[in-house]
Chains A and B, each alone.
Chain A
Amino acid sequence: MKKILKTLIILLTFVPFIINADEKELNIYLFYGETCPHCTSEKEFLNEYLKDKENIKLHKYEIWNNEENAKHLKEVGKILGNTQTYIPYLVIGENAIVGFGKGLTEEKIINTIDYYLEVEFEDKVGKYLNITQDPIDTSKDKTEEKEPAEENKNNTLENKNEFDIPILGKINAKETSLTLLSVVIGLVDGLNPCAMWILIFLISMLLGTKNKKRMWILGITFLTSSALVYFLFMISWLNLASLLNKIVYIRLSISLLAILLGGYQIFRFLFKVAKKKEEGCEIVNPKGRKKIMLSIKKIVTEKSFILALLGIIIIAVSVNIIELLCSLGLPVMFTQILALNDLTTTSKMIYSLIYVLFFLIDDITIFIIAMKTLEIKAISNKIGKYSHLIGGVIMVLIGFLMLYRPDWLMLNF
């Protein structure tokens, strides 16, 4: 207990340093044309938004009546690695937001400002425009010509995230990384033996009925309902996380909690699980599990198919809600990463679906094998126990990154 308190005190010592990040000054640069209507809308929005934000300074450059400013815009485009320099052209940190649509671009601007208020970066544009110190030499063209994308063709962040890989072609590093993260964290979460026992028991009961059609339908319904509960939980948490992440203290609390929980899991593995001589199924709450088992038994042997189907949905939903507590850490951390990234609702749903699919992949495999061979194959607890260790390491890692390098979790390469 003393050790935990000590760790907390050490971690909390660094908290003011992180919170101070919000007080950081940020220069942003807007290139516009005098009579351009979108530029006027953007100026109006920025003036209103920045009214009470003294730490953010807006520098404006009119380019239609000022040749020097027009040249500046071209140079700024080169500095940011973006040759498409249409107006309005707003530079925030190392990112350029080109164009402005009312109700469309505001959130992106706010998110980008929030992001650059938190991370350290070199204000190359500010240096070039002599706003900040050490003007840089722009004679060296450090950028490569890139083909414009269909949408957001001038968004440097998106262009920077694309890489040319032989055979595979152009790969978006952010999308690929998020897909990989969904697969890996989903798999590790799925190997957690917490909820596996319910599926194993259900399959044992189903095999006893000897009605193949009924077995398939009830099993698939159980797995689908489980997936739906997990998916709904992730989407709800994702929506909540998007809101809560804006409050620095809540985000910090989640990060600290992840470090503590992950640390506890690693500690538990190293000093308890790894030292344990007996490797098998750990029985937790025998009375509760007996109740669940009796319900499953009753449902499987229910004569009315409709009632059995309804029963299996109810049991899957209730059991998964209870078992969710067992593996809460990883899905919460995963949704935190999704919330940190500026993703569309569809993208968030797709990544959550990939996560859930891989979370259930071992269950699906065990179920299909059992239905095909009428024999249950199980994953040894020797393997399952490592999921706690890997899960713990992932949680600690994400927790620290959320605290000290949230920009790494935004997966901009």
Chain B
Amino acid sequence: MKIIKISSLSCPSCIIMNKIINQLQNKYDVEIENLDYDFDDIEKYNVGKILPVFIFIKNEKEITRLIGEHKIEDFEKIINNQE
């Protein structure tokens, strides 16, 4: 599974979520693609006004997305449901 993480260097919530993403990577076989809201081309992902955005991709299709600050359990739930 791949998670596209759209965040910003200026966003405190994104910094807080970095720790959770690291934990997730250590625990699960997930690929994380980091995109910068301000400097990368993210138009196609239709990102709203809240950051960070985590888009879950499986078989090159978006399954779901998580927006804003979340607990690791929220990510685990999605990953476990797909396995």
Contact = CB atoms under 8 A, between A and B. Distances in A.
B72 interface: no
Interface stretch (B26-34, B47-55, B56-64, B75-83): B47-55
A201 B13 contact: no
A201 B68 CA distance: 18
Contacts of A381: 12-13, 68-69
Contacts of B16: 378, 380
Nearest to A284: B49
Given A381-B69, A382-B69, A281 B38 contact: no
A299 to B, nearest CB: 15
Nearest to A280: B68
B17 to A, nearest CB: 8
Contacts of B9: 200-201, 204-205, 293
A282 B67 CA distance: 11
A102 interface: no
A200 B67 CA distance: 20
A135 to B, nearest CB: 66
Interface stretch (A107-115, A166-174, A190-198): A190-198
Given A281-B51, A283-B51, A197 B11 contact: yes
B46 interface: no
Contacts, number: 75
A283 B49 contact: yes
Given A376-B15, A380-B13, A281 B67 contact: no
B10 A379 contact: no
B38 A293 contact: yes
A198 B52 contact: no
A54 B27 CA distance: 83
Contacts of B69: 279-280, 380-382
The bracket for how many chain B residues form the interface is 10 to 19
B50 A283 contact: yes
Given A200-B9, A281-B11, A377-B15, A290 B50 contact: no
A190 to B, nearest CB: 13
B12 A200 contact: yes
Nearest to A384: B12
B71 to A, nearest CB: 11
Interface in A356-413: 376-382, 384
Contact of B10 (A198, A280, A377): A198
B68 A278 contact: yes
Interface string B1-36: 000000011111111100000000000000000000
A293 B38 CA distance: 9
A103 B14 CA distance: 59
A212 interface: no
B42 to A, nearest CB: 11
Given A283-B51, A293-B38, A378-B16, A278 B11 contact: no
A279 B10 contact: no
Nearest to B36: A293
A289 B10 contact: yes
A378 B26 CA distance: 22
Interface of B: 8-16, 37-38, 49-52, 67-69
10 contacts: A197-B11, A198-B10, A280-B14, A280-B51, A280-B69, A293-B9, A293-B38, A380-B13, A380-B16, A381-B13
Given A200-B15, A201-B9, A281-B13, 13 more contacts: A197-B11, A200-B12, A278-B50, A278-B67, A279-B50, A279-B68, A279-B69, A283-B49, A284-B49, A286-B38, A377-B15, A378-B13, A381-B13
The 6 closest A-B pairs by CB, nearest first: A280-B68, A378-B12, A201-B10, A281-B11, A197-B10, A278-B68
